[in-house]
Amino acid sequence: MANKDGKYTTIHYQQYLELEKILSAQTLRSEQLQTPAHEEMLFIVTHQVYELWFKQIIHELRSVLELFKTQIVGEGNIGTAVSRLQRVEEILKLLIAQIGVMETMTPLDFLDFRGYLFPASGFQSFQFRAIECLLGLPNQQRLTYHNTKYNSVFPQEQQDELDKIYADGTLFEVIEEWLERTPFLKLNGFDFVAKYRQAVQQMLQQESEAIQASEYLTEKEKAMRTSMVGSTDTYFQSILNQKMHEQLLAEGKKRLSYEATVAALFINLYRDEPVLHLPFCLLMNLIDIDDLLTTWRTRHAQMVLRMLGNKVGTGGSSGHDYLAKTARQHQIFTDFHNISTLLIPRSSLPKLPKDIKAQLSFHFTADS
């Protein structure tokens, strides 16, 4: 391979990967303390592999953040972001599968060396906390750790670095700002929210009429099902009434701004339009990453329950109970999940004016 001077350089496989460093980094405490435990090697290697993959995830997330920090995000950049976030998804799938490898170690095997781990704990994984910060997990949403700030287990330098991630802007924030800037909110001659309101009212009316016309339901069942269908005064209010949305934001029941929510809804409803395909994929990436992290947390909690029962964790947490609660509470992109509540069938979608449909098509398609 040539360098910038045109001279060819060579390197050995072991040098390039620095395998001497990597393969000499497994120091078994049980051996040091002259009570060797065979399973400790698996425990160390598994967690080191986690940290290596965490490093790659951080590398990808930082690159996506940079792509969206510009005022104008080109379509090519969206495609790049989608491919890199898909890579993050595949890595998370590996991390979930890796738990199965860990579970080849029995609880009794783990007890052979667990006592040597105190007070080391997964809570002290700086890289995992950095991933949470980069994605945009709000501090106020975190479960407390011994009633102290989540980053108190790290030295001051690392605490400052985590704070800086929030100060520089998280993935949640830059995607929200990008959605607020999308042109789908201001389409000449097409009031999306007004058209959507009409479509929702029509859809709800048709569903209610179908329930009332049923020959198989009792009056009580009809009343119950009609109430389940809802109305424009129920969950649709968050998109049809901006003041209601702002109130939910103030109460902490929503995070995504009204403008960004409208844009995300438009992208979801008209995802089949060519120009909207990549933006839709991007929003799905965020949901998938959230789902995979929740799955990982849940599987991790179940593994801890299997290994330790109700024992206290090595870091002093409540063990399984704490981990199970984080799976429920540490979701980041819930507002994007909840867009599904506002979806209506394709058959009920307001038709786009011809000129707007052309704007959302590829030029050669529109011209033809």
pLDDT above 90 coverage of the chain, percent: 59
End-to-end CA distance of the chain: 47
Run of H or E including 98: helix 75-102
Q: What is the pLDDT of residue 319?
A: 67
What pLDDT is recorded for position 265? 96
Q: Specify the pLDDT at position 320.
A: 79
Q: What is the pLDDT of residue 78?
A: 94
pLDDT for the residue numbered 312? 60
- pTM for this one? 0.90
Q: How confident is the model at residue 368 (pLDDT cuts 50, 70, 90)?
A: very low
Q: Which are the contacts of 283, defined by CB distance < 8 A and separation ≥ 6?
A: 264, 267, 268, 336, 339
- 319 closest CA partner among 309, 330, 329: 309
Confidence of residue 281 (pLDDT cuts 50, 70, 90): very high
Domain ranges of the chain: 37-367
61-291-179-65 Cα dihedral, nearest 10 degrees:
0
Contact 121, 318 (CB under 8 A): no
| pLDDT beyond 80 at 12 | yes
Write down the pLDDT at residue 132: 96
Q: Is 49 left (phi over 0), alpha (psi -120 to 50) or beta?
A: alpha
Cβ burial 137-176 (10 Å sphere, 16+ → b, else e): beeeebeebeeeebbebbeeeebebbeebeeebbbbbbbb
Question: What's the chain's average pLDDT?
Answer: 89
Residue 108's identity, in one-letter code, is L
Structure confidence at residue 4 (pLDDT): 74
pLDDT at 18 over 50: yes
Contacts of 311 (CB under 8 A, 6+ apart): 319
Rounded average pLDDT over 216-232: 80
Between 87-91, 184-188, 279-283, 329-333, the lowest mean confidence (pLDDT) is in 184-188
List pLDDT tens digits, range 145-179.
667 788 888 999 999 999 999 999 999 999 999 99
Top pLDDT among 269 and 240 is at 269
- The more confidently predicted of residues 262 and 144 is 262
Domain at 37-367, CATH class: mainly alpha
- Contact criterion met (CB below 8 Å) for 130 and 162: yes
DSSP 3: -
Q: For the segment 44-78, what is each residue's pLDDT rounded down to a tens digit?
A: 999 999 999 999 999 999 999 999 988 778 778 99
The vertex-296 CA angle with 292 and 300, nearest 5°, equals: 170
Quote the pLDDT of residue 230: 66
CA distances from 221 to 156, 206, 214, 227, 228 (A): 61, 17, 10, 10, 11
2 - beta bridge partners? 8
